[in-house]
Amino acid sequence: MKIFLDTADTELIQKHFATGLVDGVTTNPTLIKKSGRDPEEVYQELIDLGLPDISMEVVGTGEEMVAEGRRLAKKFGQNATIKVPCTRGGLAACRILASESIKVNVTLIFSAAQAILAAKAGAAYVSPFVGRVDDNSFDGVSLVAQITGIFREHVARTQVLAASVRDVSSVSKCFGVGSDIVTMPPTVFEKMYNHILTEKGLDLFQQDWDSVNNSTKE
């Protein structure tokens, strides 16, 4: 049950990685653009922080993705997971990179059929996009459940990394249907700690504790 952060904001990653509860990071071109930084500077900073698993997205033709994936894997070693889209070119690149023992995350998965092809291409992870499926009036968690069910039935080595997660309840639901990893924005990770009844209960315990201490001092 692994938690990844879906961001390229290294300050936030550092803060949350320090909890010991975060296992990796996923980035994409949009998140890198939002950070306003050079992608490789971001990856290097995360490696220096000790992040063991960083998804680094590559673009272009199949050949270009292979070349870039090889280069990134050589530069960043075992910490690098090369992220490719679930297209013909992306899956062809996945097959080649996986055959060279380079970890690949196949992203932009919107159907079980795509996840099956990615698993056959040797992907370490498939990333079904829960929130974007929900946005289009399908059920993102059901898609995750369908994929985990197929992978379990066929003892696939590919892990399911639920992505595009936008709220805490989706995190629990994705793990509940067997997702190996859930990647989420830092805001969602922070909200996982919260529950109104924990706060209320804590207030009451504190009040009672204070009154016990006051009465024993009298």
Residues lying near ligand E4P in the complex (CB under 6 A): 6, 26, 28, 107, 127, 129, 131-132, 163-164, 183
**E strand or H helix that includes residue 210:** helix 196-217
Q: How far apart are CA 138 and CA 140, in angstroms?
A: 6
Q: State in angstroms the smallest separation of the CB of 129 from ligand E4P.
A: 6
Q: How far apart are CA 145 and CA 176, in angstroms?
A: 9
Q: State in angstroms the smallest separation of the CB of 105 from ligand E4P.
A: 7
User: Are the C-beta atoms of 97 and 81 separated by less than 8 Å?
Assistant: no
Q: State in angstroms the smallest separation of the CB of 47 from ligand E4P.
A: 18
Residue (of 133, 47, 37) closest to 25 by Cα position: 47
Q: How far apart are CA 86 and CA 110, in angstroms?
A: 9
Active site residue 34: no
- In this complex, which beta carbon is closest to ligand E4P, that of residue 171 or of residue 198? 171
How many CB atoms are located within 10 Å of the residue 21 CB? 12
Q: How far apart are CA 25 and CA 162, in angstroms?
A: 13
Please identify which of the residues 83, 103, 120, 173 carries the catalytic annotation: 83
Residues sharing a CB contact under 8 Å with residue 26, sequence separation 6 or more, in sequence order: 4, 5, 6, 54, 55, 83, 105, 127, 161, 163, 183
- In this complex, which beta carbon is closest to ligand E4P, that of residue 189 or of residue 199? 189
Q: State in angstroms the smallest separation of the CB of 127 from ligand E4P.
A: 5
Q: Which residues are catalytic?
A: 83
